[in-house]
Structure 1
Amino acid sequence: MEWMNSANEMETSMKHESHTWRGTRPAASRHRAKQKTSLRTAATLLLAVLTMLLATACGRAPTTTTRKPSPQPKTQKVVYSTQYVHAYYRKNSQGAAKAAKDLKESGDFINAYPQEDGSVVGVTTERKLRNRIKDNNERIENCEKGFLKASPDYRYNVNEDGTAMTIWADKNLGPVADSDISFIAATAFGDNYYLKGHTGPWDMTITIRNCHTDQFIHQYQFFEGWKHGMDELGD
């Protein structure tokens, strides 16, 4: 009987302990369940946001950048007169065509073509035009240095449009210095004449004077040439 009571008491105690232990478990499970639910909710929201972003990206029209075409450089025509072309190419039966070909091959013109009257038109850009004038001016300066270096008494003067030159020198003027100023420099002045917008015939009237006495010695046209000796310049 006591055993039965003890057994009953033990059973009752075990049930009580079991009830107590089992009673704490649902609370922990609920806590973990809440955590899982929160994680699932966050994951669901993140997935939804990613899905929306992906859908937006896929549905968006691709952005294209339209480049504006580069503005074409302004062109300018340079017209070399029939007389000028003939003076340089008189020994060539295809003078105007050869002159046009030479202009194109110089790199200073984007096109060049002869006209029926024997003149030649060169088509160039403003930048190329400026560069050619600059090159001519540098050539003139170099020739001037060589001429003035020959003697401190030598000097020369050219009018504004490059059609008249006066040279002061004497019989000691060497052929190199003479060629520098009366031929190479003169040629550059002639080219600049057309590059700066002139269209009519070009020639240069060259006047020679003695650098010590200012005495007039000779005058001639550039394309005719001076056929006299240096002795005529005097001391």
Structure 2
Amino acid sequence: MRASRVGVLSRWVAVVVLLLLWLPLLSACGGKANSVGSSGESSPGSSFGLDDRRLDKATVRVVFPFDFVRHVFYDAEVNTPAKVAADLKAQSEFYSDARAQSNGDVVVMMTKSQHERVVQRDESIIRASEQRFVKSNRDYRYVIGDDQQSVSIWANKYLNPNTYADIAQIVPGMVGVVYYLQGHTGPWQMVISLYNCHSNELVKRFNFYESFNMEYDRLGD
């Protein structure tokens, strides 16, 4: 099906899609972490009021920075950091605790096994989305930068809008989640480059956090 001059996914729609996909399905995906640390000490756990029986299990602390949470997990009309934290905390199978900080960061506590499952699940979903995309057309390509802060996409104007929303919004956001879960502490800025898959011409380059519209005809045949 040809998709011509179609405006792609407004920011709030993308947020809703992310919430619907991540929170129920990934449960533990969500969020970016400013820091990931393992410790057998009681201080990280006690700061969240975990009882003594759970302190030895709550060993991984992940901080999802406010700017990341704001762009990926909600916007003003959809969610708040406190709501994001509450949704995560309710998923007790994957999180020991979660709380929104006064600065808007969302902090979660996980056991090592929970953390491992979250990362594995997120990475497997990213890979599955990549594979669906490249298998949909033999000329399509999808390359995530080694630093997890860039994505290059090769496609044409017949790209399905829903597929585009997946690879240009949902998957990059999930890459950001994994970026923080893996222990990176610097700010995450995903740059997305879209190329015509036949001419190799750069059609559009934008930051994941930016609002944007896509004119599919610019991608060419």
TM-score by length of 1: 0.65
Q: In the aligned structure 2, how far is the partner of 1:134 from the partner of 1:77?
A: 17
Unaligned runs of 5+ in 1: 1-68
Cα 1:225/1:154, change in 2 over 3 Å: farther
Residue of structure 2 equivalent to 1:196: 182
CA contact (8 A) 1:150 1:177 kept: no
Percentage of pairs with the same residue: 34
Q: In the aligned structure 2, how far is the partner of 1:179 from the partner of 1:70?
A: 40
Residue of structure 1 equivalent to 2:136: 150
Unaligned runs of 5+ in 2: 1-52
1:173 maps to amino acid: L
Instruction: State how 1:109-124 maps to structure 2 within 5 Å.
Output: 109-124=95-110
CA contact (8 A) 2:58 2:109 kept: no
1:98 maps to amino acid: K
CA displacement 1:73-115 (0-9 Å, x = unmatched)? 3511111011011223231597111111122123421101111
1:111 maps to amino acid: D
CA contact (8 A) 1:82 1:201 kept: no
Number of equivalenced pairs: 167
Q: CA RMSD in A?
A: 2.2
Residue of structure 2 equivalent to 1:78: 62
Q: Work out which structure has the larger RCO, using CA pairs closer than 8 Å and 6 or more positions apart in sequence.
A: 2
Q: In the aligned structure 2, how far is the partner of 1:71 from the partner of 1:226?
A: 45
CA contact (8 A) 1:147 1:180 kept: no
User: Between Structure 1 and Structure 2, whose CA radius of gyration is higher?
Assistant: 1
Q: 1:103 aligns with which of 66, 77, 88?
A: 88
CA displacement 1:120-148 (0-9 Å, x = unmatched)? 11111111111001111111122112201
1:96 maps to amino acid: P
SS state of the match for residue 184, structure 2?
coil
CA displacement 1:187-223 (0-9 Å, x = unmatched)? 2211101111123433311000111111111011112
Q: CA deviation at 1:171?
A: 1.0
1:78 maps to amino acid: V
Cα 1:202/1:103, change in 2 over 3 Å: farther
Cα 1:207/1:94, change in 2 over 3 Å: closer
Cα 1:186/1:77, change in 2 over 3 Å: same
Residue of structure 2 equivalent to 1:139: 125
Residue of structure 1 equivalent to 2:13: none
SS state of the match for residue 152, structure 1?
coil
Residue of structure 2 equivalent to 1:163: 149
